[in-house]
Structure 1
Amino acid sequence: MKSVKQLLHSNPSRLLVSVTPDATVIQALNTMNDHNIGSVVVMDDDKLIGIFTERDYIRNVVLKGLDPINTRIGDLPMGKVCYVTPEYTLDEVMALMTEKRIRHVPVLDHEQKVIAIVSIGDLVKSIIDEQTFEIEQLVRYITG
């Protein structure tokens, strides 16, 4: 099974998109929209503060009647951030996401610096690619 490190190396142009706690919700949403992503990490300098997702927007802003133009990301509840390291296997990441019911997880290096974020879509794509390759190899083997 592939590791997170291998997944990240297969897409070296991957951007880490972040916002500060002082960013407004609408700024975070615009950033996510500009990059066509479903979450951003919340960083205070190099320190990981939290993660803000589309789900957080619905639960913590819309359903509470908050104004996204004037509400700062840092004013929203930030729970404990689940994260992985590059050594995690994709199976381990998927198990963590399933257990915690999350769709995005930051990847931290050994110095606790955020180096990427992995989404459930990244995992599904990688698994499909791996299975497609294995099927092609089996077909070649069987058909000679």
Structure 2
Amino acid sequence: MASGEMRGLWTAALAASLLGVACSHASAQSVERGRAVYQEHCAGCHSVDAHREGPAHRGVVGRRAGALKDFDYSPALRDSKLLWTRATLRAWLTDPEALIPGQAMDYHLDDAQEREDVVAYLATLRRLAAVPPPAP
């Protein structure tokens, strides 16, 4: 391989690496903005770990809609069979009624960037591992 070709490969690899770092940084910023938007717009009815007027959100990405046994969902949501993914969460935050007619949430986020940021934040809220009971 000629030295010019090798230099081109190294330059491309460096550019890809820097792009990855830039994307990570942008993602971290999105999560922080999402946390702030969540606190401002969602925390009145939801919490990360406790049910309020709406269900807790920890572990929501990858969970079936209406699946938490200890929350009283609307029949429309409980029977929807919807899986919460980043795409379905964006659609939900855009217009819950359009996604699941008859559901009970009467709020949406108008700003597309705020929706993206909230979804980025929600995706970081992984389910906690079950803690075994203490030994007798």
Note whether the superposition's TM-score is higher than 0.5.
Answer: no
Structure with the larger helix share = 2
TM-score range, shorter chain: under 0.3
Larger radius of gyration: 2
Normalised to the residue count of structure 2, the TM-score between the two structures is 0.25
| Larger RCO, structures 1/2 (Cα 8 Å, 6+ apart) | 2
Q: Normalising by structure 1, what TM-score? A: 0.24
